[in-house]
Structure 1
Amino acid sequence: MHIEDVRAASPEWYRTGFRYFPYAARHDDAWWVLRVNHGFPEHNLLTLFVGGAAVVDVTPGSSSSPFHTSLSRLQPLGGGREPLLEPAVARTAIEPIAAFADFGSEDGDTCDFCFNVKDGYAPM
């Protein structure tokens, strides 16, 4: 997926109920899932996964693109007013990436300072 396609998108986010993957959206026939990078500010606050692949690391407010605007109203570290996905649907959305709760783990290059073997299914 090209970064310009991401920047132009404005997905409708839903809360998942999971601590490390708090938001997901079904957009263009793929699951878009946000991971919270708990090494912030050394790393961008979020990583976007599309269809199980990491696409971009991003911090809300760093751009005025439609995608960044969709992120600006989210509360990834807790709470949120968005609707909650049904638990089975949320598990389906994060299943391909649940093992990648640590920053960089999707590339086999987990940050030495952030590494903690997190449980992708940990509740919020």
Structure 2
Amino acid sequence: MPPRPDVLTRRVTWHRTATRVFVLAARVDDTWWVLRRNSFPEHPLYTLFVDGAVVGDIDDTTTTSWDLDATARPPLTDDQRAEVLASVRGLGPYGSEVGRPCDGDWCACDALTDEHVRTTG
């Protein structure tokens, strides 16, 4: 399910979360936009969540107006990261957002527990 076009054309400035699964987040209109990096190519490259609700999958980031190069910007603070991760609790594995978390042998989704998601590095 691709996101609506108006989401993809919106200018969004992303920040690193310093986690390995929900890798980028942005504060947009008092909501958290969060990108989950999926096990690619088994699953789409990213899944976008807005305040914990799935918006859609993204395979090609060149079709967006987003500034995904967050290396020059400071990462989220510890408090911001905790707020972001709370909004996506239980949504680490691909498909968990629709009640069908992936448990396939071909990807690492089964390892994406909330504890693993909180790991920084």
Name the TM-score class by shorter chain: 0.7 to 0.9
> What are the residue-to-residue correspondences of 1:35-114 with 2, within 5 Å?
35-38=36-39, 40-61=40-61, 63=63, 65-67=64-66, 70-71=67-68, 73=69, 80-113=71-104, 114=107
Tell me the amino acid that sits aligned with residue 57 of structure 1. Answer: D
TM-score (norm 2): 0.81
Distance 2:6 2:22 in 1: 22
Aligned-partner Cα distance in 1 for 2:55–2:61: 18
Percent of aligned pairs with the same residue?
A: 36
2:90 match: secondary structure: helix
Q: Provide the C-alpha distance between the structure 2 equivalents of 1:54 and 1:61, rounded to a whole number of angstroms.
A: 17
TM-score (norm 1): 0.79
TM-aligned CA deviation for residue 59 of structure 1: 2.1
Unmatched segments (≥5 aa) in structure 1: 75-79
Q: Superposed, which structure 2 residues align to 1:25-36 within 5 Å?
A: 25-36=26-37
2: CA distance between counterparts of 1:120 and 1:104?
15
C-alpha contact 2:103 2:110 (8 A) present in aligned 1: no
Per-residue deviation, 1:110: 1.4
Measure how far apart 1:62 and its partner are: 5.1
Runs of 5+ in structure 2 lacking a partner?
Answer: none
SS at match of 1:26: strand
SS at match of 2:117: coil
CA–CA separation in structure 2 for the residues paired with 1:41 and 1:62: 17
How large is the RMSD of aligned CA atoms in angstroms? 1.9
Residue type matched to 2:60 in 1? Answer: P
Tell whether the 8 Å contact from 2:51 to 2:88 is kept in structure 1 after alignment: no
Aligned residue-pair number = 113
Aligned partner of residue 5 in structure 1, secondary structure = helix
Structure 2 CA distance for partners of 1:61 and 1:86, relative to 1, 3 Å: closer
